[in-house]
Amino acid sequence: MGTYAIEFYESEDGFSPVDRWLERLSPAKQRAVLAALQEVLEVDGPEVCASPWGRHVAPGIFEVRIGHTAEQIMGMRGERLPAGHKVEPEPILLRIFCHAYGDRVVLLLAGYDKGDHPKPTYQQRQIQVAKKRLRDFQRRKRAGT
């Protein structure tokens, strides 16, 4: 278990856009995201920005870059893979925008598949979405709701 807790941003009505995004990914991409969250983000938190795993994209927001299968991520982190485990050949190029706060908590604000949306303008729009969600989260946190 990592040293950072992972939380999913929720709108006022309880909707979690990152959760919805994850549900729509292929099983291989879902496993890659979950492995990256557990093996990288929970362990390193915002320090991923000092590695190829992440970078700062806006004040208070950083991205986690996922370009490996779950099996590759686990192998990089020294985890043993199940015997006879077959790796599905699918390109993985995912981004998750995050905000670190409080006592070692990382809030997942937005995510997208860069393989499906490679243009920088799409990424900039997603960063704007993450900024809007962060402002909403901070406003509600200050209000105590």
> How far apart (Å, rounded) are the C-alpha atoms in residues 99 and 106?
6
Q: Is the pLDDT of residue 49 over 90?
A: yes
Q: Is the pLDDT of residue 22 over 90?
A: yes
Contacts of 101 (CB under 8 A, 6+ apart): 107
pTM of structure: 0.91
Q: What is the pLDDT of residues 55-82, one digit of tens each?
A: 999 999 999 999 999 989 988 877 765 6
| Contact status, residue 87 vs residue 73, Cβ threshold 8 Å | no
User: The tokens of 65 are what?
Assistant: 């870059």
Q: What is the pLDDT of residues 121-130, one digit of tens each?
A: 999 999 999 9
Q: Is the pLDDT of residue 83 over 80?
A: no
Contacts of 2 (CB under 8 A, 6+ apart): 38, 41, 42, 43
At residue 30, the pLDDT reads: 95
> How far apart (Å, rounded) are the C-alpha atoms in residues 26 and 32?
10
Q: Domain segments of the chain: what residues?
A: 5-143
Going by pLDDT thresholds of 50, 70 and 90, the confidence category of residue 86 is: low
> How far apart (Å, rounded) are the C-alpha atoms in residues 9 and 22?
13
